[in-house]
Amino acid sequence: MALLAGTTLVWRGTVFDRAWALNPRAYATLSPLGKLIGIPFLLLAAALLIAGVGWFRRRLWGWALAVGIIATQVAGSLVNAIMGESLRGGVGLILAGALLYFLLRRQVRAVFTRAAF
């Protein structure tokens, strides 16, 4: 989704622009920022791709990058909750917090510290 959002914000007028019909409020907020916000979305997509590759190869750096990305999501959800988006922030906090808890468990991290297969 980050790749799609970044692509449609940087390169306007593509067939992919129709995807914004799913979230017109986000489009109304992000569209005026164009490339200024589209490029960070593309960088996020790249970070997620790299984390996924490291995760599936069971590399410690992949686990660490995934933890960093999810911890950022937890922080963002907390900010949303504090800023008045109680439902959105609360649900995000619960889901991302549960995922972060899972990632930080000893058994999960142990999979990434063993020798690669």
> What tens digit of pLDDT does each residue of 21-69 get?
999 999 999 999 989 999 999 999 999 999 999 999 999 999 999 999 9
Which residues touch 14 (CB under 8 Å, ≥6 apart)? 7, 8
- What are the DSSP E strand ranges found in the chain? none
* Percent over 70 (pLDDT), the chain: 97
pLDDT at 14: 87
pLDDT exceeds cutoff 60 at 107 = yes
Q: Does 12 score more than 70 pLDDT? A: yes
Domain boundaries, the chain: 1-56, 58-117
d(CA 100, CA 71) in angstroms, rounded, equals: 7
Decide if pLDDT at 10 tops 70.
Answer: yes
pLDDT at 116 over 90: no
Q: Is the pLDDT of residue 113 over 90?
A: no
Query: What CA–CA distances, in Å, run from 87 to 32, 67, 77, 80, 94?
Result: 26, 24, 10, 9, 11
